[in-house]
Amino acid sequence: MRSRPADACADCPVRDQAICAALDQDELNELSRIGDHRDYRRGDTIFAAGDEGIACATLISGAVKLSAMDAEGVERIVALVHPSGFLGQLFAATTALDAVALTDARLCVFPRPQFERLMADHPKLTRAILERTQTELEASRGLTRLIGRRDVKARLSGLLLALARAAAPTPCGQAMEFDLILSREEMASLIGTTIESVSRRLTELERDGLIERRGARGLVIRDALALETGEAVRG
């Protein structure tokens, strides 16, 4: 489904964080002209690995996972994309990763040929993409640090904090209560463990008072500091 109101950018929630933020009004108008809003439902595949990359997009709302299959046919998630993030391969002919909506999501989609023309004409746009890519690179390295931790409890704690930060309305500070956008299986895939271990560690973190579960997906962060350091509260 599509929609493209004339004043689309004016009230766009990621207007100031996405690549568009770097552009002046004329450039924004040009970009806006080739962009198309598109809505996806949770579980929808946005791009599939191996597809020709015919489009790229800014994520306006919702969350997306990027994943690949490993040798045994098990899904391995390599990144999460949050609002204002950029999706799509720019230089390679084909997409390397699956992009799947984790929640209902809205994208601002650009056909690649036109987008690349715009990049060629407007260095500022190229620069904006560069900054965005660097941000993603930093995020990816942050994830590398996270999943390099030796015990599952530490990896899971870090993941919960990362998800809490992402769920927070503002870039800083973290939501005390939020819904997990990942299933147990997805969490396990991301931090390199099994569904059962995720479940057990969650139970343990709850028993120790660091978190509280509200149903299967609801989560309350009760002690963010302890989650960071791996220490349970004493007394």
Least Å distance, CB 100 to DNA, is 12
Least Å distance, CB 177 to its own copies, is 25
Pick between residue 46 and residue 187 the one whose CB is nearest to DNA.
187
Nearest to 33 by CA among 124, 115, 125: 115
Per the rule left: phi > 0, alpha: psi between -120 and 50, beta: everything else, 73 is left
**Helical (H) or strand (E) element with 161:** helix 152-167
Per the rule left: phi > 0, alpha: psi between -120 and 50, beta: everything else, 41 is beta
Nearest to 67 by CA among 39, 41, 101: 101
Pick between residue 21 and residue 162 the one whose CB is nearest to DNA.
162
Interacting residues with its own copies (CB under 8 A): 66, 68, 70-71, 76, 78-79, 90-91, 96-97, 119-120, 123, 126-127, 129-131, 133-134, 136-138, 140-141, 143-145, 147-150, 189-194, 228-230
- Angle (nearest 5°) at CA 173 between 169 and 177: 65
Q: Give how many residues touch DNA by CB under 7 A.
A: 23
Pick between residue 29 and residue 140 the one whose CB is nearest to its own copies.
140
Q: Is 200 in the site for DNA (CB under 7 A)?
A: yes
